[in-house]
Structure 1
Amino acid sequence: MTTPHSLTSALASHISRTILEAGGWIGFDVFMDRALYTPGLGYYAHGSTKFGTLPYTVQDGARMAGSDFVTSPEITPLFGWTLAQQVAQALAVTGTQEVWEFGAGSGALALQILQALQTQGKPLPRYTIVDISSSLRARQQATLAAFVEQVRWVDALPDEMQGVVLGNEVLDAMPVKLLARVGGEWHERGVVQGAVGTDGTPTFAWADRPTALRPPLAIDGPQDYLTEIHPQGESFVRTLASRLSRGAVFLIDYGFPEAEYYHPQRHMGTVMCHQAHQMDDDPLARVGQKDITAHVNFTGIALAGIDAGLGVLGYCNQGRFLMNCGLLKQMEAADLATRVMAQKLIMEHEMGELFKVIGFYKGEPWQALGFDQGDKTHTL
């Protein structure tokens, strides 16, 4: 029987070998990649209960393992039904007939969008999910059984694609590099082996190396400072730009524009871990058992898209985007419990302000419904 401890032990041993093969030190981006995506062992590569509303469930009176965190589609189906209004407009304007979703999680968002478009009399010919997790794919297939004719799964992008691309909480799970200013000098913070645990499991420790890498903005003040840069997330957007011949892209995640991201007061960085609806800031512990994320620098994402040939449709907080797309009207027709949950998506102290939406287009520019009011592209 595979247990969380045995998975952690096997993954820790795998990462330990990676460190040894690299000469005793790896960048945090390599560590994060191995912790999340090592086949069969990484957090997203084993098990399927990552997303949900409860840290545990009760079955036959016994407490069973539950989810680690909740995303917007699990909070309420109104998230996907509202986003579908933007998807429908984007498909019509760009003259395309396919949605591409990255990191589809439980499959809840795909189900909501497919249901909404079908209800509107605009059934979608094809919905393609790009996901490298076989365990999550099985859960998605069960969720989307009613749309088996429209949905397909791929683990790599074709050389050319058309359609509307969606990514909800995808960028935050992409590995980041850590930069640490110590005594006025910049270092790349990486990972080395620590002492072997009492059970024989390898442990890990931080280690800094001098580097020529710098944050994109100068950070005022003499204090030590820890932050991230996002080469993989920016590379992802450039790849989308190179493959997308016609269509639109909508990326939803938590983060800031560059001036806020690299503010002198944000001196501890944004890397955070999630397990059983609890957060901690130690990604080196319990590897494989918890999610590791970092907030998104949306200025970097925007510039990567523009440099690669995309145009920016808009950028705003999630609350404004969803209201522009008709969430309040959806809420009026819902029951009280659904309305209460939907408020979490738009309230400033919940997800409404921290979460942002950025949109891109390939082709001719157009006015996207979600950015009709409150567009903050000028802040990027």
Structure 2
Amino acid sequence: MSFLPAENISASLTQIIVEAIAVQDGWIGFDQFMAQALYTPGLGYYANDSSKFGALPYARQAGVTVAGSDFVTAPEMTPLFGQTLATQVAQALQVTQTTEVWEFGAGSGALALQILEALAAQGQALTRYSIVDLSGSLRARQQAKLAKFSDTVQWVNELPDTLQGVVIGNEVLDAMPVKLLARVKGVWFERGVAVGAAGEFIWQDRPTALRPPLAIDGEHDYLSEIHPQGESFIRTLADKLSTGAAFFIDYGFPEHEYYHPQRHMGTVMCHRSHQSDTDPLADVGLKDITAHVNFTGMALACQMEDWGVLGYCTQARFLINCGLVARMENATLQERVRAQKLIMEHEMGELFKVIGFYKGEPWQALGFAEGDRTHTL
């Protein structure tokens, strides 16, 4: 595997985006910029060879300090996450009488490995585990990690016309491109990207008829996002899933919290070397760009395609309902400490939410047995 120096990645990707802006009247919407910054083949953040997932920004290998990851996800933090999620997956497979799992955005493959091992230990029949991931650079890493399940795991670049089974996505929706809407002195604009005099990317607003789904009280300037691509993804998935269920874990809010008047700076964030910043226009291709999820929008999108909501709750409540505490009791002290971060309110427990969808008849999912917040959507 070849690795381009960081400065080459950013310079090459910058040139591609500059050219895209030039042919589109000197301006592109932020959603297009975000898509190119994250997914341009070979250069976008999720499509290049840089290390992304892990617990530390730097690691020791053979006595040498090497570049580490940019952020840590729950399955990288502790295998108890995937093992606990597998309890819900197993129930969903049994209730829907299906034998396939579809994972979107599989990262390093850690979650897939945890779920596959846990399902095998439970004796849960599984005919196929399909990974849908736009990041070709991660496929080799996933294949190596999942080698012992090579007869079960397959990688696909696009969805078939129909599918069945249980769909999972951990921190997938937050990486889908968003449109930025800015209210400036009472007038709404779409905030996009242009090129400055020195060749740098700059913000530029254009008038728009687009609006947030809720009216924003007050006259103050306001910046937020709308999620047409994420909602379109949910509708497409709902249309293609003939039988089964889906579970998405991500950080975000219901609509009335997302568009609260006090949340006037939006939710777009960047992540690199375990540091966060709010400037997606700098160092393109070298850092993650995300936006919080509007879970109400996702729920409404699913209902437009005859898909129902199984439940919606905090990650903490979901994992506790699925038996995390019992697993922690049998784990090492180090594993218990790591697992606590999954459910502690000031860590991942409250900010991260889980939403579940179903096709067919509704049923009581283990993860939403207590603490269901569907009524808040």
TM-score range, shorter chain: over 0.9
- Show the counterpart of 1:126: 128
Q: Distance in 2 between matches of 1:28 and 1:185?
A: 18
2:334 maps to a residue whose letter is A
Q: Distance in 2 between matches of 1:234 and 1:192?
A: 26
1:39 maps to a residue whose letter is P
1:312 to 297, 309, 318: 309
**2:251 counterpart of 1:254:** yes
**SS class of match (1:44):** coil
Do the aligned residues in 2 keep the contact of 1:114 with 1:123 (CA within 8 Å)?
no
- Show the counterpart of 1:19: 21
- Show the counterpart of 1:136: 138
- Show the counterpart of 2:166: 164
TM-score, length-normalised on structure 2?
A: 0.98
Q: For each residue in 1:308-354, what CA deviation from the matched residue of structure 2 results, as whole angstroms up to 9, or x when unmatched? A: 11000000000000000000011011011000000000010000000
Do the aligned residues in 2 keep the contact of 1:192 with 1:204 (CA within 8 Å)?
yes
1:345 maps to a residue whose letter is L
**2:181 counterpart of 1:179:** yes
2:11 maps to a residue whose letter is S
How far residue 195 of structure 1 moved from its aligned partner, in angstroms, is 3.4
- Show the counterpart of 1:199: none
Q: For each residue in 1:137-159, what CA deviation from the matched residue of structure 2 results, as whole angstroms up to 9, or x when unmatched? A: 11100110110000000010000
Q: For each residue in 1:125-148, what CA deviation from the matched residue of structure 2 results, as whole angstroms up to 9, or x when unmatched? A: 210000121110111001101100
- Show the counterpart of 2:95: 93
1:191 maps to a residue whose letter is V
Do the aligned residues in 2 keep the contact of 1:275 with 1:290 (CA within 8 Å)?
yes
1:226 maps to a residue whose letter is L
Q: For each residue in 1:11-47, what CA deviation from the matched residue of structure 2 results, as whole angstroms up to 9, or x when unmatched? A: 0000000000111000000000000000111000011
**SS class of match (1:356):** strand
Do the aligned residues in 1 keep the contact of 2:216 with 2:260 (CA within 8 Å)?
yes
1:282 maps to a residue whose letter is D
Query: What residue ranges of structure 2 are gaps of 5+ in the alignment?
Result: none
Matches within 5 A, 1:150-161: 150-161=152-163
How far residue 123 of structure 1 moved from its aligned partner, in angstroms, is 4.2
Q: Distance in 2 between matches of 1:333 and 1:6?
A: 48
1:23 maps to a residue whose letter is D
2:275 to 274, 278, 287: 278
Matches within 5 A, 1:49-64: 49-64=51-66
Q: Distance in 2 between matches of 1:66 and 1:51?
A: 8
**2:167 counterpart of 1:149:** no
Do the aligned residues in 2 keep the contact of 1:195 with 1:204 (CA within 8 Å)?
no
**SS class of match (2:55):** coil
How far residue 62 of structure 1 moved from its aligned partner, in angstroms, is 3.1
- Show the counterpart of 2:82: 80
How far residue 60 of structure 1 moved from its aligned partner, in angstroms, is 4.0
1:322 maps to a residue whose letter is L
Q: Distance in 1 between matches of 2:63 and 2:314?
A: 42
Q: Distance in 2 between matches of 1:89 and 1:161?
A: 18
Q: Distance in 1 between matches of 2:207 and 2:119?
A: 52
**Which range moved further: 46-55 or 179-188?**
46-55
Do the aligned residues in 2 keep the contact of 1:48 with 1:139 (CA within 8 Å)?
no
- Show the counterpart of 2:229: 232
2:281 maps to a residue whose letter is L
RMSD: 0.9
Query: What residue ranges of structure 1 are gaps of 5+ in the alignment?
Result: 197-201
Q: Distance in 1 between matches of 2:291 and 2:197?
A: 27
- Show the counterpart of 1:367: 364
Cα distance change on mapping 1:48 and 1:151 into 2, 3 Å: farther
**SS class of match (2:218):** coil
Q: Distance in 1 between matches of 2:200 and 2:140?
A: 32
How far residue 58 of structure 1 moved from its aligned partner, in angstroms, is 2.1
**SS class of match (1:279):** strand
2:342 to 340, 345, 356: 345
How far residue 64 of structure 1 moved from its aligned partner, in angstroms, is 1.1
